[in-house]
Structure 1
Amino acid sequence: MNRLSLLIAVLLSAYTSSHAAEAQGRAVMDQRHKALFQETCVSCHGPDKQKGKFRVDDLPFEIKDIETAEKWQKVLNQMNSGDMPPEDEKQPKNEAKADFLDDLANVMVAARRTLGDQNGVITMRRLNRREYKNTLRELLGVDVNVSDLPADSGAGGFDTVGANLFMSANQFEQYQLLGREAVEEAFAWQAAAGVEKKLHYEGETTTSIVKKFVEHQIDAKARAERWVKAVEEAAAKPENKDIVAKVRKESKNDSIFRREWARIPGAPNPRTFGFDKKGENDADLANDSLGAGWLKYHQYYMSQPAVDKGAYLGTQTRHPAELNVNYIELLVPFDWPVGEYVVRVCVGATKDAPPERRFLDFGIYARTGRVMATHEITGTIEKPQVIEIPLTMTRSNMTRENRLLFVREKGSWDTNEEGGRKRAEAVKRNGIGPELTLWVDWIEVERVPKTDKPKPPGIAALSIPLDDKSPAPATPELRTALERFATEAFRGTTPPKGYIDRLLSLYDVRRKAGDKHSAALKETLAVVLSSPMYLYLAEPTPDEKRRQLTGMELATRLSYFLWSAPPDKQLLDLGRNGDLQKPEVLSAQTELMLNDPRSSDFLEAFTHQWLGLDRIDFFEVNRALYPRFDTGTKVAAKGEIHETMAYIMRSNASLRDLLKSDYVMINRVLAHYYGITGVKGDGYEKVSLPKDSPRGGLLGMAAIHFMGGNGERTSPVERGAWVLRKLLHDPPPPAPANVPAITRLAGKVLTTHERLLAHQEDPQCASCHRKIDPVGFGLENFDAAGQWRTEDSYMAIDANGKADPKSKKSWTIEAAAALYKGPAFKDFFGLRDIIASKSDAFARSFSEALIEFALGRPPGFRDEPLIAGMIQQAGKKDLAMREFIHALVASQEFHTK
């Protein structure tokens, strides 16, 4: 064996051994790496010479401290950047260098984990934003906007990790303001408990507006034509020849020319023809009235059947203050109180409406496109259907924007650009504009009071007047009420007498300052809601020693794990009397909590953070390239991930279903997008798949593939790295910040394979990309919007940032590749099978994430037995999802502070 072969063999062996070391909790570089150092590094960084005062021959190969880690990181940075070895020195072979960098990068990941291990210590932490919001909801029955609070994941990881949950003096002020708002909201709900409201809007109201507008347009067009004739006559006068020539030269078109009418002697003011609108250019109004396009579209609208009985949803025609037929807006009156409302829409589709245009968006404030729900319209104009949509109105909805509801055709006007593009395409197609397909008979909004709904525990605990209609309570009564309220707020812990005394003093100060009882009470309760006993999940350990949680502490830890909210009375009682610490009681309560609707808060937050779904909201697709991936589809696609997780949890199905399954959880929007039949209702349903379907599991979901791109093109690197991180528990090391760009590829028209394979020729890149890219190749049949495809194309971008059609290159997608040091696959289905076969790695990833989310700290090496135990217990039931949770909740780590 020659020296090169020996070196490669040594490095490959070191790669394997270092990974084994990482698994055992040690960050160790194999001693045989000294061969590489001896050949390429020691002459400049050895015992005789230390360039840059840096020496490598005595560098410890086990990283036990920060100083050693910093030296190895410097080696990694210098070799990644290509600065070492210098160009004029002997260079290692590309494959050998790539292996070394891969090995060292993974050892550095292990080192960071080792040096950052908290040894099971759980940092006392405050409630994060979600938990604070949910705790207010459970205590007072209200939803408060908490978006102004600081973010909870500054250092990465889950928002339950104590090290991320900082607190400042300013935050206490924010909590007091939010607490005051929550109390105001709760009092408002109690005051409006029995109020009934109903608003009905007939669709033909919009039609009557269109009819009047058409009459106005016909008259305005005639007046505009007379004005234009008069302007042209003035422009034709010989004495105006020079000025007219100058104005025409400065004007791009006739409309701009007429806008300069005042410079042409004898040209009439458009106001004399009735174009008089304050704050706008009268010439613009007259020019606009000349265009026959909008008039033709409005006349087309008025010619539709049943137009006298309802309204059609078309495209935006003029400024919303004048006229819109692309959506119907309904303003909830400002004097209507907070409460639970129902919005009903009676709607039908025309008989010739294509399937993709039979969907209705419902949302708030059309100009920002906040779509809340999308429904398929199966009714007709003759037999319309009634859609019911729940709506919660809070004090934060008091602004016009938040009370302005809308219905529109799905995706018809998500953005001005998109609406304009669709209209232009329709005019080119039919000379008029977008065909009208959805007809609305009527819309109504109703507030239905729930008189039998019990009071929230915080309000029930007060049991004193909340308004000023009754006499203010005496001091003993108020003391009792405040003590009961604080006990509820502090999750069953009775506050000390001195604390209640200070609350009473605050109340008295406010009353003496002139506040009425209700105002003074709100300020006092707001202090409770910004107290450390409310804001912190405290498990005090004065002697800093490990100890068992008390029953009450266990109840709180369990509820904030599975509900992201405080324990209810039943759970607190079980904790208080010690029954919760009995294994059979704890298991039963865990089941009950997972079956409770409140568990959806845990599951949604955990799924979002575990799978890294933030990218779904980072960017939009290029709708010119992917017109079907509109706002409604994007919302539905994101919902598919959460609904699938909810189904697996609800039915205690196998975690393997996230890797590959023969079913999907989709609604009608996604059924149409995927081309899948079988959805019967209006919500998400379990639908069986044919054997050849690429759907089923995370890798079949549009939202997952949407994250793996930039809205225009796919990124095999982004997708491959995500699969390695989330599904295979083999995360690539962080990308080096100082790797130089590969300039030789700039401007070249290459297939995805060609571009990435060329990228791998550089050892600094190959060390990571040889693992990442094959996985990304296998997912290339999904485009940037998650649709299945068999071909792709690419065009070069010119100096002006525009695509050059002459450079277009198209190719048939070949999803065949081989995993690095792993099996080969012929297509996506083969890749999916390989990934599905690695369910143990996926189970480990899931277990570690659960531990971090539940305990509020990253898992460490001392957690290895816990992880193994969770996988073993779940494995006995085919990796059933709930078994992981039961194993964690029953563990010593979960019961220990």
Structure 2
Amino acid sequence: MFRRSRVASPACNGALLVAIAMLGAAVGLEATAPGAQQPAQPHATAAHAAVAAPETPDADAFLDRYCVACHNERLRTASLVLEGRDVERIGDDAETWEKVARKLRSGAMPPPERRRPDPAALDTFVGWLEGELDRDAAAHPQPGRVADHRLNRFEYGNAVRDLLDLEIDAAALLPADESDHGFDNIADVLSMSPTLLGRYLFAARRISQLAVGDPSIGPAVETFDLSRGLRQDGRMHEDLPYGTRGGALLRHYFPLDGDYVVKIRLGRNFTNSRIRAIDTREEIDVLLDGAIVSRLTIGGECADSDDAHCAQSGIYRTSPYHLTADDALEVRFSAAAGMHDLGVAFVRKSVLTEGPAPTLLPPRHTSSTYEAPRMDVDTIRLEGPFDPTGPGDTASRRRIFVCRPDGAADEEPCARHILGALARRAYRRPASDADVDTLLAFYRSGRQEGGFERGIQEALARLLVSPQFLFRIERDPASVPADGVYAVGDLDLASRLSFFLWSSIPDEELLDAATAGTLRDPDVLEAQVRRMLADRRAAALTRNFGGQWLHLRNLRAVDPDASAYPEFDDNLRLAFERETELFLESQMRDDRPLAELLTARYTFLNERLARFYGVRSVYGAHFRRIPLTDPNRAGLLGHGSVLTVTSYATRTSPVVRGKYLLDNILGAPPPPPPPNVPPLEEAAGGEEPASMRELMAAHRRNAACATCHRRMDPLGFALENFDGIGRWRTMDGATPIDASGELPDGTAFDGPAEFRAALVERREEFVRTFTEKLLTYALGRPVGHQDMPAVRAILRAAEPDDYRWSSVILGVVESAPFQLRAASPAVDD
């Protein structure tokens, strides 16, 4: 875990590039090229399958018996009035009736203390209500309309990778994106400010230099700061050699063939800047792609040095050597242009025997008397290129230069061929002559300055700031009236599909199917979805969607209190994150039923995480699939990642965990808290109660808090056996843990295993929540009441397949909101 900083000044002489890009941002997006928009299709698709008419109940009698006592004109409980509603016109107020159906289906209403219908009557009424809503939606589809969608930072990096075969660190080039409704690909918040435009311009210039191999690139300095919370007493990466410890493995792009310099700075004591453990002799390997470039030696007792060099002051040596010895940790080496793994690691002196790991004060403690038992790396500095010999034979150059001119007369035709091929992939459609002519103008300018390759570099920089690359643009066909609904063209469908599953641009096979007009064919579409899910790029779905749905991204920001949780360090943080990533990937790759996300009796562990969970006989830094014998650890709710991001720095929080479960597992998020609610300790008043449960009971005595906390707190208590970093416990201080509670429908449980079983008994709620989150992510907009019929259609189609990943994903792709689009509304004169 490290931070990366760069000091470089790439030449930026593309004034015309800046002017064109700023003009595009100021006056709107470039017009779609002629022929790029496919004709509108009729909106009757498989997404609107016929809904069978359910048994018709006496709706008025049901409402009068179970609902109107609270939801009437006088009480208006929860601002909802059902008294006098016309049940013959359900579609006229679909938003209200969707809320009613959800509350009844989840068991949240009627409340447990009120008269409740028997399950058969409830199912009959809700089935009828949902059927009426679905039939109205089929007759009057409302697929919504997504704004022009700027590629977010993650999508931009993937698009550059797939366009140019060049891996970039997008986080080092672009700022983080805003999120809405839990995701950072929501079109409405992906705006383009002048400042952000400047960052994209810089990124385009830098990426074009790297991709082409600009020989004028001068030496740059990049510094990689290793986290102080990272314990360096073991092998730090699976691709570092066995028999090493500490340091880091950096995946880095070397821009040119040439020489590069690595400088290593070691960690210091907190109080006197003395290199930690400098009295111990250590060997440090510098590696390139696994091969040792140099082995450096540092430290020791200085037996061969003069007395002045080894003078002592107090308990530690404090000579200049012990303050500056790492100045000599510098290596110059030659590297070919392209992506390489640069490693720095200490040579391990011995192999520890099996047994309990020693208890060490974690590096994040700031004790003035503490000195780490081992030397560690603080920063790695990489400089270069020096004495470059050329751009080399890189993957990006092979991707770009699909032809080579034999002479001056061949240069522009070759450039046209290169730029046409790049524009087709970048713009996600066949490139028009106008598209290529625009790029050729930049090619000619660059050609005059520095030859053929410089011309291609300038044109590539222009392409990378084109609105047609940076934005996903969908144009309404002229034949569709205002507010009309139409099926998106095959090319737009291909982009929707690729950004959903890969967070990137379509590949050639998907573009070919779209260009041929066959992608909408159900068999072709299903085959493409299954092909794409089997591709390695589909890992973007579990990492990007899963990471945001489960709040894994928040794991990097949490900071458990060192005194409360001394075992927590960045090694454990990274292990938590990797465990959940690998688990999600395996679930999707193996096409498991979605309910297994909650029940799976396996996970992925390395030695550090296995030791934390109390799992024996797991050694080494690499993660591997491990069966679980403890039912309490089953599924996602036993993962340290989930349990840590739902806790406070010093303690667990049944409220935070309960809200998380309501929102992300049960799909029933509570409203925001009312203003001026006192914090938990103040709400309790007087002497602090003996247990968390008593503390929460005191908080619920505040009438403003009681309604929501009655739903949240019991769910959060189900996980109370796990402390603030996910460690199992049976006592909270001197108080036994009470992990009993009940679901919103009154189902009782005691402990995480019973809680998990109760959730699986009602797996439809979890699967529905997952589907709604996935549909939000796929569409790039929040789902609303108008999308609930599509969600139910997805679930009906997936149920016979046990709600497996592929069946739900196919359902999303085939759904009305994914395949249809509403035209722009009419504009008043």
**Quick one: which amino acid aligns to residue 423 of structure 2?**
A
The 2-side partners of 1:153 and 1:61 are apart by 40
Q: Is the counterpart of residue 144 in structure 1 residue 168 in structure 2?
A: yes
Cα deviation, 1:826-882, whole Å, max 9, x if unaligned, reads: 333222222232211110011111111112222233333321232233322322222
1:347-746 matched pairs, under 5 angstroms: 347-348=347-348, 350=350, 355=355, 357=357, 414-415=363-364, 417-418=365-366, 420=367, 424=370, 459-461=400-402, 463=404, 474-497=411-434, 499-509=435-445, 514=449, 517-542=452-477, 543=480, 544=482, 545-677=484-616, 679=618, 682-690=621-629, 692-740=630-678, 743=682, 745=684
Equivalent position of 1:220 in the other structure: 311
Q: Deviations over 1:808-834 (max 9, x none)?
A: xx3222222334551222333222222
Instruction: Give the Å deviation of 1:740.
Output: 4.8
How far apart are 1:603 and its partner, in Å? Answer: 1.6
**3-state DSSP class of the match of 1:664?**
strand
Q: Distance in 2 between matches of 1:731 and 1:526?
A: 45
**For residue 138 of structure 1, what is the amino acid of its counterpart?**
D
Could you say what secondary structure the match of 2:787 adopts?
helix
Give yes or no for the alignment of 1:785 onto 2:730: no
Between the aligned partners of 2:651 and 2:330, the Cα distance in structure 1 is: 39
* Cα distance change on mapping 1:661 and 1:506 into 2, 3 Å: closer
Aligned to 1:168: 193
Cα gap change, 1:552/1:763 in structure 2, threshold over 3 Å: closer, same or farther?
Answer: same
Structure 1 residues 600, 790: CA separation in 2 closer, same or farther (over 3 Å shift)?
same
- In structure 2, distance between residues paired with 1:756 and 1:157: 27
Return closer, same or farther for 1:566/1:212 CA change in 2, 3 Å cut-off. farther
Gap runs ≥5 in structure 2: 1-59, 97-112, 115-140, 214-252, 261-287, 378-384, 822-829
Normalising by structure 2, report the TM-score: 0.67
> What SS does structure 2 have at the residue aligned with 1:814?
coil
Q: CA deviation at 1:339?
A: 2.3
For residues 119-134 of structure 1, what are the structure 2 equivalents within 5 Å? 119-134=143-158
The question of whether the paired residues in 2 share the 8 Å contact of 1:778 and 1:828 is answered with: yes
Alignment partners' CA distance in 2, 1:414 and 1:471? 62
- Asked if residue 771 in structure 1 is aligned to residue 707 in structure 2, the reply is no
**Pairwise CA distance, 1:636:** 0.6
Could you tell me how far apart the structure 2 residues matched to 1:836 and 1:294 are?
62
Distance 1:56 1:142 in 2: 55
**CA–CA distance in 1 between the matches of 2:348 and 2:63?**
66
- Between the aligned partners of 1:868 and 1:37, the Cα distance in structure 2 is 29
CA RMSD of aligned residues (A): 4.6
SS across alignment from 2:604? strand
* 3-state SS of paired residue (1:876): helix
Q: Distance in 1 between matches of 2:205 and 2:304?
A: 48
CA distance in 1 between counterparts of 2:574 and 2:254 reads: 33
Give how far 1:355 is off: 4.8
The 5 A counterparts of 1:51-62 are none
In the other structure, the counterpart of 1:88 is none
Structure 1's 145 and 819: CA in aligned 2 closer, same or farther, altered over 3 A? Answer: same
Cα distance in structure 1, aligned partners of 2:774 and 2:551: 14
Alpha-carbon distance in structure 2 between the residues aligned to 1:829 and 1:522: 59
Q: For the structure 1 residues 180 and 347, does the alpha-carbon distance in structure 2 shift closer, same or farther, using more than 3 Å as the test?
A: same
CA-CA distance at 1:789 after TM superposition: 1.0
In 2, Cα distance between equivalents of 1:678 and 1:875: 39
Q: Residues 753-774 of structure 1: CA distance to partner in whole angstroms, max 9, x if unpaired?
A: 1110001111111011011111
- 3-state SS of 1:721 partner: helix
Cα separation, partners in 2 of 1:320 and 1:718, compared to 1, 3 Å: farther
Work out whether residues 641 and 701 of structure 1, in 8 Å CA contact, stay in contact via their aligned partners in 2: yes
Give the structure 1 partner of residue 757 of structure 2: 833
Q: Name the residue aligned to 1:894.
A: 818
CA contact (8 A) 1:411 1:631 kept: no
Match of residue 292, structure 1, among 311, 315, 319:
315
| Rounded Cα–Cα distance in structure 1 between residues aligned with 2:392 and 2:336 | 18
Give the letter aligned to residue 295 of structure 2. E
Q: Distance in 2 between matches of 1:478 and 1:655?
A: 49
2:211 to 186, 197, 212: 186
Q: Distance in 2 between matches of 1:625 and 1:685?
A: 30
State the distance in 1 between where 2:678 and 2:72 align. Answer: 25
Task: Tell me which protein shows more helix as a share of its residues.
Answer: 1
Q: Which amino acid aligns with 1:186?
A: A
Name which of structure 1's ranges 140-149 and 842-851 shifts more when overlaid on structure 2: 140-149
Q: Which residue of 2 aligns with 1:202?
A: 295
The separation in 2 between residues aligned to 1:185 and 1:496, in whole angstroms, is 27
Contact 2:337 2:391 in 1 (8 A): no
8 Å Cα contact 1:562/1:593 also seen in 2: yes
Give, in whole Å, the separation in 2 of the partners of 1:744 and 1:557.
Answer: 49
3-state secondary structure, aligned to 2:293? strand
Distance 1:438 1:490, change over 3 A: closer
Residue pairs, 1:790-805, within 5 angstroms = 790-793=730-733
CA contact (8 A) 2:212 2:453 kept: no
- 8 Å CA contact 2:597–2:636 kept in 1: the answer is yes
SS at match of 1:580: coil
Residue 879 of structure 1 aligns with which residue?
A: 803
C-alpha contact 1:461 1:488 (8 A) present in aligned 2: no
Per the normalisation by structure 1, the TM-score is 0.62
Taking the aligned partners of 1:724 and 1:572, their CA distance within structure 2 comes to: 40
SS in 1 for 2:738: coil
SS of the residue corresponding to residue 152 of structure 1 reads coil
| CA shift in 2, pair 1:776/1:667, >3 Å | same
Greater RCO, CA 8 A, separation 6+: 2
Q: SS of the residue aligned with 1:123?
A: coil
* Partner SS state of residue 655, structure 1: coil
Which amino acid counterpart does residue 847 of structure 1 have in structure 2?
T
Question: Does 1:321 pair with 2:324?
Answer: yes
**Which whole-Å CA distance do the structure 2 matches of 1:457 and 1:886 have between them?**
35
The residue that corresponds to 1:177 in the other structure is 202
Matched-pair contact (CA < 8 Å) for 1:194–1:450: no
Residue type at the aligned position of 1:534: F
Cα offsets for 1:516-535 (capped at 9, x unmatched) = 55445423321111111111
Contact 1:139 1:457 in 2 (8 A): no
Is the partner of 1:832 in helix, strand or coil? helix
- Is the 8 Å Cα contact of residues 186 and 780 (structure 2) preserved in structure 1? yes
For residues 836 and 349 of structure 1, what CA distance do their matches in structure 2 show?
50
Q: Contact conserved, 1:714 with 1:784, CA < 8 A, in 2?
A: yes
Q: One-letter code of the match for 1:624?
A: S
Deviation at 1:676, TM superposition (A): 1.0
- Work out the percentage of aligned pairs sharing the same amino acid: 29
CA 881–484 in structure 1, closer or farther in 2 if over 3 Å, else same: closer
| CA contact 1:122–1:856 (8 Å) conserved in 2 | yes
Cα distance in 1, alignment partners of residues 398 and 720 from structure 2: 53
Instruction: Say if 1:817 and 1:825, in contact at 8 Å, map to a contact too.
Output: yes
> Secondary structure, in 3 states, of the residue corresponding to 2:485?
coil
Determine which structure has more spread, i.e. the larger CA radius of gyration: 1
In 1, the alpha carbon distance for the partners of 2:702 and 2:811 equals 46
Give the Cα separation in 1 of the matches to 2:356 and 2:453: 54
Letter in 2 for 1:220: A
Deviation at 1:181, TM superposition (A): 0.9
* Letter in structure 2 aligned against 1:637: F
Letter in 2 for 1:128: N
Change in 2 beyond 3 A, CA 1:604/1:217 = farther
